[in-house]
Amino acid sequence: MDSVTASKLLNLQELDNQIESINSELEKIPAEIEKLRKEIESLKIKHDQLIHRKKELDFQKKEKELDIQTFQDRIAKLEIALNKVKSNEEYKALLREKAQAEENIIHLEDEIIQLMEEIENLAKEIKEFDKIREEKIKELENEIKALNSKKTQLEEELNKLITQRQELVNTIKPQALSQYESIKKRVKNKVIAIVEDQVCTGCYMVIPPKIFTELLKSEKLFTCPNCGRYLFYESK
């Protein structure tokens, strides 16, 4: 291949490699941003769960306090009734009912104390978590912002490279370009393989002597008989 065409194709290959590298980076960014957003959502969900749990405990405490009030009201009525009963049997029954109500109050008070401890501990946990959550969310949002900024920069760089590529393509012989694009579709990378010590650096197979000799003296486009890549020999 003539040195001018070879040089242009090598430049084209370098541009294509850069374009592919940027596209690869751009493809990863949406998933990275989505992962960070899920982390933020996870922190918000945990916060909501803690708040919901505290509300549940507050509600349970309030219910038990209402139950205590109900039993206290019942005891007050029983004490009035005790002063009015005439039979010993009825008196004992009312005492048993009063004792049961008092026992229920004791159990409820114990449960309320336990609930108050849970509520207090949960309130501390919420306060500590909120501080960590705010810092973490800020950190995650900054990461998202950085990724979006990186995306913009990469897109700008990509557009410049695409423009450069098009300008270069316009100067390359159609036949050479067509074969380059055909090889590129097949091998994906390293369309042009440098020949070193009579070896194709694309597939690392030895170039047959006849082809190698032609490559040295001819300006035709030669491809590797093994991998089909363009062959380029740079005289030292």
**What was the pLDDT predicted at 176?**
86
Which pair of structure tokens corresponds to residue 18? 């850069």
pLDDT score at 2: 65
**pLDDT of res. 1:** 55
Could you read off the pLDDT tens digit of each residue along the chain, which spans 236 residues? 567 888 888 899 899 989 999 999 999 999 999 999 999 999 999 999 999 999 999 999 999 999 999 999 999 999 999 989 889 999 999 999 999 999 999 999 999 999 999 999 999 999 999 999 999 999 999 999 999 999 999 999 999 999 999 999 999 989 889 888 888 888 877 888 888 888 988 888 898 988 888 888 776 678 888 888 888 777 65
Range 94-118 burial, b when 16+ CB lie within 10 A, else e: beeebeebeebbeebeeebeebeee
**pLDDT of 235:** 67
The two structure tokens encoding residue 128:
């500590």
User: According to the model, what pLDDT value does residue 81 have?
Assistant: 94
At 215 the pLDDT is 80
List phi, psi (to 5°) of 14. -65, -40
**Helices 88-169 & 3-82 angle (0-180, nearest 10):** 170
Q: Give me the domains of the chain, ranges plus CATH numbers.
A: 16-171 (1.10.287.1490), 173-236 (no CATH)
Write down the pTM of the prediction.
0.70
